[in-house]
Structure 1
Amino acid sequence: MSQQRPQALLALADGTLFYGSSIGAAGHTVGEVVFNTALTGYQEILTDPSYCRQIVTLTYPHIGNVGVNKEDCESNGVFAAGLIIRDLPLRASNFRQEETLDAYLVRNNTVAIADIDTRKLTRILREKGAQSGCIMAGEIDPVKAVELARGFGSMSGLDLAKVVSCKQPYAWTTREWQLGMGYATQTHSKFHVVAYDFGVKYNILRMLAERGCKLTVVPAQTPAEDVFKLNPDGVFLSNGPGDPEPCDYAISAIKALLDRKLPVFGICLGHQLLALAAGGKTSKMKFGHHGANHPVQDLDDRRVLITSQNHGFQADETSLPANVRVTHRSLFDGTVQGIALTDRPAFSFQGHPEASPGPHDVAYLFDRFIAAMAKNKQ
């Protein structure tokens, strides 16, 4: 990048410093520094609520090539605490582009740094594990930056689901995007689904609406009794940020839902919460899974699926009770990627079947949820 930009600094809690250029807002930000290996989808990543309090390193060297547009957001704003990239192209080019990435970052008050060795940074995070960090842009102070990074602490114990969740229930009717048509609006429905918003991505809701679900999205702290009053055919547990174990309100609500034997489908944080509600435990991972090319095996039919992933916690397989079976497993590290209850119509997946960004190899799980609701109505 030859264009002159303000200086910026990334400081890790271990004292490592990276000097680069500011491509976002001036000031500083702190959070857990993680790396994502996806080649595309930087806008979807920035607007994914699951990245709340995390500074995202994108390992692909050229980020910003296609600009930004209103249609590719996964929420109503930027939730990532900051962005780290190798190179921002001087020109963005795409027929859907409405704004450049750097202008978008400034407008959303997001601190970001470019022109650093992201390969070196990724190796540090891979070998030492995810750690807290601080980006300073404009006026920089290395000593202060390290101090701020060390003061952030850990994601363990942080209940962020209620931070990013909606404040009031709302209806969702938007279906999936189609070239030349954009987003269609749902005109009829077969099932009523209550979706718990722990940090839900828009494309999850779109894929449910595409399959004929009337969606009522409710806040993370909604009691099960309020859900029962809505008389749903099924309940969806969304993705979200932070540690699942402090979410006592969600775990107790899910237990009540399971007692009613309502069909339940969870993704990401929702998967971890289902595991906890079923009697299992969760644990923090060394550096998590963040990317769009993670191989996962469906243990029922032995298929290998390429999946989108974004999580720093996992369900502990050794803690799962006898009525919970593992349905999917990561081929990177063997961790649990899916579970199903043997005595309830409830199942979940750790990755992101809706992608955004990434492949749709696991989209059939949405159809499985539809089938479970249809069977339950008979």
Structure 2
Amino acid sequence: MKRQLILEDGTVLVGKGFGSMEETIGEVVFNTGMTGYQEVLSDPSYCGQIVTLTYPLIGNYGINRDDFESISPAIQGFIVKEAAAAPSNWRSKETLDELLKSRKIPGLEGIDTRKLTRIIRQYGALKGAICGMDVNVQAMIERLKNEPLPTDQVERVSTNTAYPSPGRGYRVVLVDFGMKHGILRELNMRNCDVVVVPYNTTAEEILRLNPDGIMLSNGPGDPKSVPVAINMIQGVLGKAPLFGICLGHQLFALACGANTRKMKFGHRGSNHPVKSLETGVVDITSQNHGYTVEMESIENTRLQVTHIALNDGTVEGLKHIDYPAFTVQYHPEASPGPEDSNHLFDDFMKLIETYKKEGEDVCQNV
């Protein structure tokens, strides 16, 4: 069935629909990864977005039970050059088309995804709609121009209630702004006693759980749309070691007095080089964000830049000068992507250990 993608700038691309045939509207972005489409589909950070994959053949190894990054994908739509109808992999349980149908996610194939990517690179992320051929193009363009997109993405993807993921190691409170399961998996691998809490949990409620460490997860949307989290971070800062990823990194920066801004088209892919300013080591990282911390806004804060993106010089890591807290803009848990920076979870464990030891030494000297 023919379907069309209509962009707010007037561009119309006609292709073939797959997955759900429902109409959908969202921010159109692109991801440059060659593999990992299942993880991209199920990453809550894509909530409200229509994702275009630049690699031409998607779905060739099917969908399996193990590579989901969330139980309920929140992606708004999926655009590919070609969706493989006959995948081949020993783990495959269903096709990409079958998954999208079951989760009511509209798909579009057969358009020039490289052309669409060039449009986004030139003009920035655009609002768009995947819809039927009977839709009035001019009326849809006016709708896209005049109707703002929702800003409640974090509320939509965060857990509603706190829940444990038990372990016998350090107690880590993981604040869920749209958490990828990969983060929870890495903490579980280190035997952490994890308590996952909703995005709007207060500082008092978190501290009442007696955490050894606090983790701020990734998530979708504009960090300034989550002021309750900024207040929470200010309330826990310095009272337990803190580690933030992606949206958690941006919220941490805002809580410490820095500023964030929307990027032209963001970083979305699995091959972004990031340099550590402390060691000089370059890691190849997995990234998915449309906002960044402004470098110049850090000057009058107690923050220090620890990592930068080699492609464009944007901030990729921060640490607090006075408190045991650090964050990164990229995804050390990968999924999909390289695991070069996985050691950051071990660094977090060492930070907790050091903080606890210093507290014990103070108590012994009283």
| TM-score (norm: length of structure 1) | 0.92
Pairing partner for 1:302 from 276, 280, 304: 280
- Work out whether residues 213 and 352 of structure 2, in 8 Å CA contact, stay in contact via their aligned partners in 1: yes
What is the CA distance between 1:152 and its match in structure 2?
4.4
Alignment partner, residue 50 of structure 2: 55
Task: Give the distance between the partners of 2:274 and 2:54, measured in 1 at CA.
Answer: 21
Aligned-partner residue type, residue 175 of structure 2: Y
From the superposition, tell whether residues 141 and 119 of structure 1 become closer, same or farther in structure 2 (CA, over 3 Å): same
Residue of structure 1 equivalent to 2:96 = 101
Between the aligned partners of 2:6 and 2:320, the Cα distance in structure 1 is: 44
* Counterpart position of 1:168: 161
Letter in 2 for 1:267: I
User: In the aligned structure 2, how far is the partner of 1:302 from the partner of 1:109?
Assistant: 45
Does residue 254 in structure 1 map to residue 244 in structure 2? no
Aligned residue pairs: how many? 356
Unpaired segments ≥5 residues, structure 2: 358-366
Tell me the amino acid that sits aligned with residue 347 of structure 1: F
Asked if 1:123 is matched to 2:101, the reply is: no
Structure 1 residue 138 displacement after superposition: 6.8
Q: SS at the partner of 2:83?
A: coil
Contact 1:23-1:113 at 8 Å conserved across structures: yes
RMSD of aligned C-alpha atoms?
1.3
SS in 2 for 1:308: strand
Structure 1 equivalent of residue 207 of structure 2:
228
**Which one of the candidate residues 311, 330, 334 is aligned to 2:313?**
334
Residues 287 and 331 in structure 2, CA contact (< 8 A), matched pair in contact too: yes
> 2:301 and 2:199 mapped to 1: Cα distance?
28
| Separation in 1, partners of 2:290, 2:304 | 22
Does the aligned pair in 2 maintain the 1:132–1:152 contact within 8 Å?
no
CA distance in 2, matches of 1:89, 1:226: 47
How far apart in 2 are the matches of 1:313 and 1:121?
21
* Counterpart for residue 248 of structure 2: 270
Q: What displacement does 1:154 show?
A: 5.4
Match of 2:67 among 62, 66, 72: 72
C-alpha contact 1:30 1:152 (8 A) present in aligned 2: no
Deviation track 1:218-240 (CA, whole Å, cap 9, x = no partner) reads 00000010111110100000000
Structure 2 distance, partners of 1:189, 1:132, is 46
Secondary structure of 1:146 counterpart: helix
Alpha carbons 2:62, 2:94 under 8 Å: kept:
yes
Q: CA deviation at 1:159?
A: 4.2
After TM superposition, give the deviation of residue 212 of structure 1 in Å: 1.7
- Corresponding letter in the other structure for 1:294: H
Q: Distance in 1 between matches of 2:11 and 2:123?
A: 12
Q: Tell me which residue corresponds to 2:332.
A: 353
Shift of 1:205: 0.4
Assess if the C-alpha contact under 8 Å between 1:7 and 1:139 holds in 2.
no
Contact 1:112 1:137 in 2 (8 A): no
1:208 maps to 2:201 = no
List gaps (5 residues or longer) in structure 1.
1-5, 174-187
- Helix, strand or coil at the partner of 1:284: strand
1:279 aligns with 2:257: yes
In 2, distance between residues paired with 1:328 and 1:205? 23
> Could you tell me the percent identity over the aligned residues?
48
1:368 matched to 2:347? yes
Secondary structure of the structure 2 residue equivalent to 1:245: helix
1:198 matches 2:177: yes
CA-CA distance at 1:78 after TM superposition = 1.5
Q: TM-score, normalised by structure 2?
A: 0.95
Q: Any conservation in 2 of the 1:63–1:87 contact (CA below 8 Å)?
A: yes
**Residue among 292, 296, 300 paired with 1:314:** 292
Tell me how far apart the structure 1 counterparts of residues 43 and 355 of structure 2 sit (CA, whole Å): 32
In the aligned structure 2, how far is the partner of 1:55 from the partner of 1:130? 10
Distance 2:168 2:263 in 1: 39
Q: Output one character per residue of 1:255-306: Cα deviation in whole Å (capped at 9) or x when no partner.
A: 011142x100000000000001111110000000000000110111101110
CA distance in 2, matches of 1:287, 1:369: 31
